[in-house]
Amino acid sequence: MALQADFSSQAYFRNPAAEIEKLRAAGPVVEVRFPIVGTVWTTTTQDLADLVLKDSETFTLRKDDGVVAGFRWWMPGLLRTLANNMLSMDEPDHRRLRDIVDEAFRRRAVLEMEPRILALGRELAAELFAAGSPADLIDQYARKLPLSVICELLGLPLADRPKFSAWASGFTRFTGALGFLSVIPNILAMKRYMQRHLEAVRQDGGEGLIAELVRAEKEGGRISGDEIVAMVFLLLFAGHETTTHLISGSVYELVKNPGLRNWLAEDWSHAETAVEEFLRFISPVQFTKRAISARISSLPASG
Ligand code: HEM
């Protein structure tokens, strides 16, 4: 029987480690029920996670008919288009798409953005402090900073940032199928916006990663129009939702632990170590996407 851990409860979000410990105690491969995704088997050890993630002969992200594993019958076709991103693609399509954007994420390219990211961070922090107490860290800072950075990286107008913010924040607050379907109008509005923006870039040229994607589309069709839309959605979400939660989770830990806060405040050169540790400790992403296998019996039995 599937373990009834509630991955959308307050209890889980407040202490994911405790719930994950229960999964570990149940065995190396455990059947669990996720909201929206349904019943799946999850690995609870590093070795098994490595095995599932690296053995692309045994585990694939898509079924033989090309549909993404875990795609539910009630999900609208619009999501099928958006799921056509590299995160849910097996090789060689994953590599084809990844190669187009890899350059933008190299260390050098990211370091070049550092002064601009620092300036944005300072500007938002100044606004946050100027507004006084109580302050909404998520709305005023943790969501705005990564969203601004990813908009700049993509070459999307900063003036449209509040629009993305409103669309995007609705996407992450649902925990069931009904809530999931209620955000479809937002996704549709965003998709239409992207298509219009892409058309303008195709006609008049543009800046940032979107202009590079359009170049790749023109140069022998290395990426299709639908794949560009899916890629931009992926980058917009992967690039900001994760970082929003890393920032807010880190601040929460610092507020709870004055000793830790003093350690950081006394010597700012600790910041790099702090971010590394927060990344491990807070883990904005705790589970990966679904994979399927025709040879599932090769895994150890559930405990
Ligand atoms: C705290 C920050 C972040 C965390 C914890 C995080 C975590 C992850 C994880 C765990 C994956 C693998 C997901 C899977 O295969 O199931 C992933 C993939 C990805 N992330 Fe992030 N991420 C973060 C920030 C970012 C940012 C800032 C960007 C873009 C600007 C980004 C873009 C991507 C992309 C494009 C993929 C898919 C890569 C591929 O399929 O080759 N992420 N991220």
**pLDDT tens digit sequence for 94-134:** 999 999 999 889 988 999 999 999 999 999 999 999 989 99
In a domain, 157, yes or no: yes
Nearest ligand 1 atom to the CA of 53 is 15
The helix/strand/coil state of 236 is helix
pLDDT digits (tens, 9 = 90+) for 52-98: 999 988 999 998 888 888 887 778 888 888 888 999 999 999 999 99
273 in contact with ligand 1, CB cutoff 6 A? no
Rounded CA-CA distance 128/116 in Å is 18
Atom 27 in ligand 1: residue holding the nearest Cα: 239
Q: Provide the 10 A C-beta neighbour count for residue 102.
A: 11
In a domain, 5, yes or no: no
What sign results for the dihedral spanned by CA atoms 165, 68, 50, 23?
A: positive
Q: What is the pLDDT of residue 303?
A: 39
pLDDT digits (tens, 9 = 90+) for 201-223: 999 998 899 999 999 999 878 89
98 in contact with ligand 1, CB cutoff 6 A? yes
CB 40 within 8 A of CB 57: no
In a domain, 303, yes or no: no
Q: Which of 40, 242, 281 best tests ligand 1's pocket when mutated (most atoms within 8 Å of CB)?
A: 242
The closest of 108, 98, 138, 164 to 251, measured between CA atoms, is: 138
In a domain, 62, yes or no: yes
Residue 301 has pLDDT above 60, yes or no: no
- Residue ranges of E strands in 20-119: 29-34, 38-43, 59-60
The domain tally of the chain equals 1
In a domain, 124, yes or no: yes
Domain encompassing residue 53? 10-298
CATH number at residue 216: 1.10.630.10
- What's the whole-number average pLDDT of the chain? 87
In a domain, 4, yes or no: no
CB < 8 Å & 24+ apart, contacts of 198-203: 198/225, 198/228, 198/229, 198/232, 201/155
Q: How confident is the model over 162-190, as a mean pLDDT?
A: 75
Write out the two tokens for 1: 């029987």
Atom 25 in ligand 1: residue holding the nearest Cα: 239
pLDDT digits (tens, 9 = 90+) for 220-273: 788 999 999 999 999 988 888 899 999 999 999 999 999 999 999 999 999 999
In a domain, 275, yes or no: yes
In a domain, 259, yes or no: yes
Rounded CA-CA distance 226/217 in Å is 11
CB 214 within 8 A of CB 228: yes
Could you identify the residue written with the tokens 């288009």? 81
